[in-house]
Amino acid sequence: MNSIRQRLLFWQITALIVTSVLVSAFTYHLAWQAFNRVRDFGMEQIAHSVVRHGVRPHSWALDPPEHAAPRPTARHAPQDNPPPWVTDDLGRFISQIWSTDSELLYASVEGVGPPLQEPGFHNVEWSGESWRVYTLVDDEEIVQVAKTASDRASSFAQMAPWLLVPVAVLVLLLGVLIRLAVNRALAPLEALGQDIRRRDEKDLQPIATNGLPEEVAPLGQALNQLLERVSRLLTRQRQMLADAAHELNTPLAAVKLQAQIVRRSPESERAAALDELDLGIARSTHLVAQLLQMARLEADGRERRPVAVRLDRLAADVVVAFSARAEAREIDLGLDTCEAATVLADPQDLRVLFDNLVDNALRHTPPGSQVDLRIEQSAGRVSLVVNDNGPGIAEADHQRVLERFVRLNPKNEATGSGLGLAIVAQIAQQNGGLLTLASSPPGGLSVRIVFSAHPADAASPEGASPTA
């Protein structure tokens, strides 16, 4: 049962039925006690009436003369096999008058009736039935009245269904009202669902939350936040797709032109033309690789799993991986300071970050330059620094170069695609790092990224861990 409506109706109606059953049982019990008190009061009034009005039995009530017909109130009948009219009396009411010496003076059914009891009310078993008996003692006589319990129960049974009718009507009425109340309470959810279903994939406008109840308003606000994030993501993806198409157009056109040149070049010039074609293909490949990296970062589809990563070892691996390329360009690439340091981050992201930092430095420094990597740890912080002595970047452009496809010298093909530092900035942000740009001591560019140290390293003395 996954429906909120069905759950609400089930629990509310179940609670109503259980409560109604308990109330009915309690009402039945109270009504039965009240009914018995009323009947007892009636028996008590009958006995007092006999005493109050001075009713006295005739002397022949029990033994009438031979010439007199038996009185209707003094009936002779054997105890073991009474006739039907005696049985009828037994099912209704019996009154008796006793002398103060416990001698039976009168009986509505002669010689038949419960034995004399102590004053007050009693439950007596007589003639195979349960009787309710009331005995009243007077100065001159004792009056006793009796009524069968079965007759009292049958009389109450005729009244009991009418006691339950109001409860049944109340249950039905409250059931209908509960259903209407639940439907009315869930109407905002229905309206919200209809509003969302009517929208197409392009309609990402916020949902109106002014008229929503307090319980539903947080859901509408959360949906609006989701719609806003989706809208931003789609906008970035569309912008990136447009930028990628624009950026790929130039290198692919250059590759196509270089291929035509190779085809038309004489044998003596074909080797140089093929070298230019290789360079064009390499630039296109690099641009496509960076576009893929940026697309993965924008989509954020991969689940990041921060683990302990040794930055000093990762820096050493990157220097080794780029050493051949640096040597080919006559650039001095090395590790300046490399303290043992561990951070919590995604290892794949950090490798992409290192690769883009070093690749960017090698691309923008002229032959004969120097590129140094430094890993420093201090006060619970780990700093990754890449310094070069290239042309550097003006301080006014430090924020601009962190944007996508921004190239300060677009006429120079060696400037790359304008994605390197943008990728670095996004990876640093997603892994809790802080990126800053400054001028390096040799006069080039200094890129610094500060991470929080791994808790184990942060608690240990500085430099206690082994270096790479």
Alpha-carbon span 66 to 34, nearest angstrom: 48
How do 141-148 and 307-310 pair as beta strands?
A: unpaired
Q: Do 135 and 235 sit in the same domain of this protein?
A: no
Q: What is the per-residue pLDDT for 95?
A: 86
Q: Do 266 and 325 reside in the same domain of the chain?
A: no
Domain end, chosen from 269, 285, 301, is at 301
Which residue bears the tokens 């609670």?
15
**C-alpha distances in Å from residue 407, one per residue of 346, 417, 420, 438:** 28, 7, 10, 18
Q: What's the CATH number where 207 sits? A: 1.10.287
For residue 157, what are its two tokens?
């049974």
- Would residue 332 count as lying in a domain? yes
**One domain, residues 94 and 145:** yes
Domain-terminating residue out of 252, 286, 301: 301
In order, the DSSP letters of 284-329 are: HHHHHHHHHHHHHHHHT-SPP--EEEEHHHHHHHHHHHHHHHHHHT
The pLDDT, as a whole number, for residue 233 is 78
Q: What is the pLDDT of residue 466?
A: 36
pLDDT in the model for residue 61: 45
For the question of whether the overall pTM of this predicted structure is more than 0.75, the answer is no
- Judge whether 192 lies within some domain: no
Q: Are residues 454 and 312 in the same domain?
A: yes
* Domain shared by 270 and 369, yes or no: no
What are the DSSP calls for 24-88, one per residue?
HHHHHHHHHHHHHHHHHHHHHHHHHHHHHTT----TTSSS--TTSPPPTTS----SSS--HHHHH
Residues of the chain short of pLDDT 70, as ranges, are 1, 54-92, 110-112, 240, 243-244, 246-250, 294-295, 298-304, 405, 407-417, 456-468
> Domain check: are 297 and 368 in the same one?
no
pLDDT of residue 371: 92
Judgement on whether residues 283 and 320 belong to the same structural domain of the protein = no
Residue 365 gets which letter from DSSP? S
* Angle at CA of residue 408, ends 405 and 414, nearest 5°: 80
How many structural domains are present in the chain?
Answer: 3
Whether residue 173 lies inside any domain: the answer is no
Please indicate, yes or no, if residue 114 is contained in any of the structural domains: yes
Q: What is the pLDDT of residue 333?
A: 92
Distance, CA of 142 to CA of 158 (rounded, Å): 33
φ, ψ of residue 106 in degrees (nearest 5): -155, 145
From residue 459, how far is each of 14, 314, 323, 466 by CA, in Å? 59, 22, 34, 15
153 belongs to a structural domain: yes
373 shares a domain with 268: no
Same domain, 212 and 286: yes
Output the pLDDT for position 316.
92
Give the tens place of pLDDT for each residue, 64-79.
Answer: 444 434 434 333 333 4
Same domain, 351 and 432: yes
Look at residue 5 in the predicted model and tell me its pLDDT.
77
- Asked whether residue 339 is assigned to any structural domain, the reply reads yes
Closest alpha carbon to 425 in 360, 339, 342 = 360
| Mean of pLDDT over the chain | 79
Considering the chain, what percentage of its residues have pLDDT values greater than 70?
Answer: 81
Listed residue (439, 435, 428, 425) closest to 395, CA to CA:
439
Q: What is the CATH number of the domain that holds 370?
A: 3.30.565.10
**pLDDT value at residue 386:** 92
Give the integer Cα–Cα distance in Å for 417 and 401. 11
Q: Give CA–CA dist 453/381, Å, rounded.
A: 5
Q: Are residues 59 and 20 in the same domain?
A: yes
**Quick one: 231 and 256 in the same domain?**
yes
Contact criterion met (CB below 8 Å) for 426 and 297: yes
User: Which of 263, 284, 301 is the endpoint of a domain?
Assistant: 301
Residue 49 included in any domain: yes
In a domain, 189, yes or no: no
Specify the pLDDT at position 57.
55
Range of the domain at 238: 201-301
